[in-house]
Amino acid sequence: MKRHIWLVMVLIFSIKVYAQEESSPKPLYTDRPGQSITPYTVGDRALQLQGGYGFFRETSSLSDIDLHNVDLNSRLGISDRFEISALFQVSSLRVERGGLINPEDKQPDNGFSAFALSTRGLIMKGDGLKPAIGLEASYIIAGVPGEELKNRNGRFILSLQNQITEKLSFTGNVVYFSNDRTEFTANLGYSITSSFGVFAEYWPIFEAVFDGDSGLVLKDSYMNTGVFWQLGDNFMVDAAGGFRAGAPDTIDQDSESFYLQVGLTKRFWLNMK
pLDDT of residue 273: 53
pLDDT of residue 205: 86
Residue 7 pLDDT greater than 50, yes or no? no
Dump pLDDT digits (tens) for 20-32: 444 444 788 999 8
Please check whether the domain covering 2-266 is classified as CATH 2.40.160.40. Answer: yes
Amino acid at site 164: I
Dump pLDDT digits (tens) for 210-263: 665 667 788 888 999 999 999 988 999 999 999 988 766 555 556 788 999 999
Residue 106 pLDDT greater than 70, yes or no? no
Cβ atoms of 113 and 144 closer than 8 Å: yes
Q: Beta 196-209 vs 151-163: how paired, if at all?
A: unpaired
Residue 200 pLDDT greater than 70, yes or no? yes
3-state secondary structure the chain: CHHHHHHHHHHHHHCCCCCCCCCCCCCCCCCCCCCCCCCCCCCCCEEEEEEEEEEEEEECCCEEEEEEEEEEEEEEECCCCEEEEEEEEEEEEEEEECCEECCCCCCCEEEEEEEEEEEEEEEECCECCECEEEEEEEEEEECCCCCCCCEEEEEEEEEEEEECCCCEEEEEEEEEECCCEEEEEEEEEEECCCCEEEEEEEEEEEEEECCCCCEEEEEEEEEEEEEEEECCCCEEEEEEEEEECCCCCCCCCCCEEEEEEEEEEEEEECCCC
Residue 182 pLDDT greater than 80, yes or no? yes
What average pLDDT does the chain have?
A: 84
Residue 118 pLDDT greater than 80, yes or no? yes
| Closest C-alpha to 20, from 150, 126, 154 | 126
Can you give the residue ranges of every domain in the chain? 2-266
